[in-house]
Amino acid sequence: MLSYYKTIDGHITQLEACEPGCWINCIAPTDAEISGLIEDFQIEPDFFRAAMDEEESSHIDTEDYSTLVIIDMPVAETSGDNVTYSTTPLGIIITEKNVITVCTRGNPVLDEFTDGAVKGVQTNLKTRFILHLMLRIATKYLQYLKQIDKLSSHVERELRKSMKNSELIQLLDIEKSLVYFSSSLKGSEITIEKISRGRVVKLYEEDQDLLEDVLIEVRQAIEMSSIYLNILSGTMDAFASVISNNLNIVMKVLASITLIISIPTVISSFYGMNVEGLPLPFFWFPLLLAIVSMGIAYLILRKKDMF
């Protein structure tokens, strides 16, 4: 689906058709729509293939008439009561007079721009518009990282009450999300640093402050994801040790119980044999001997902290 937006009187306004200086938002475009854009703007077809590839990493590519910037965006998906976080590539194609964004799915970051929630956006100022877009993406990373931190704290509290597989699996999903975020942010940082050199995308003096804000936000998100990942890894190792220790305690208690229970079995086996000469061959004696022996064994094992 293609949508056209342009800044008119300081507000993002949706257009019926493409105009110079407008932003073309492509969400899961069809082959016919892609072919039309390629023909109208003289865009390299590989640009769209790269932007539509879910596994594409962040990078910059330049051809004669256009430039492609791939940036990973954070995505939150809800499945029942569980929320999983991942990333998806956003292709930003810079043409002579327009900016085209290509994505395989809708995203809250793009919705903020289409709804006019982002102030100071000028679609005709292509470099500034791209920097605003990257700044909102970095801000969304920080927002999701805070949500991940709260979610991991909640799961940790639940694990303290009961060691269930569901909570452990949820922690693994959170750790996977942090790995995705960390790798995507590092790739985005490299891409933004390339943009800051001014060789691929033309930079203006008034864009320097905005570019620095983008780099600061991205580096802060990288630092946060690294810290949260280290904390979560330590938490997973701690809970793995606790689970292993609990299993050892259970096995130790079961072994002690098995040892105590085996005492009357051994004594009754001796007195159940068809032989003569056993001391006090009366019913009460082997029973009393078994009880006394079990008590002594319990005291010895208790002293050795086996119970």
What's the pLDDT tens digit per position in 48-67? 888 888 888 888 888 877 88
Question: Do 136 and 201 belong to one domain?
Answer: yes
Number of domains in the chain: 2
Share of the chain above pLDDT 90, in %: 5
pLDDT in tens, 248-276: 888 888 888 888 888 888 888 877 776 66
Q: Are residues 167 and 24 in the same domain?
A: yes
The Cα 90–Cα 231 span in angstroms is: 30
Do 106 and 9 reside in the same domain of the chain? yes
Which of 244, 264, 293 lies at the terminal end of a domain, its last residue? 244
pLDDT for the residue 76: 85
Q: What pTM, to 2 d.p., does this model score? A: 0.79
Query: Cβ atoms within 10 A of the Cβ of 177, count?
Result: 27
- Mark 95-113 as b/e (b = at least 16 C-beta within 10 Å): beebbbbbbbeebbbbebb
Residues 249 and 237 in one domain: no
281 is in which domain, residue-wise?
Answer: 245-303
Q: 280 and 142 in one domain?
A: no
pLDDT above 80: residue 92: yes
> Do 161 and 229 have their domain in common?
yes
Query: Considering 244, 270, 287, which residue would you say is the last residue of a domain?
Result: 244
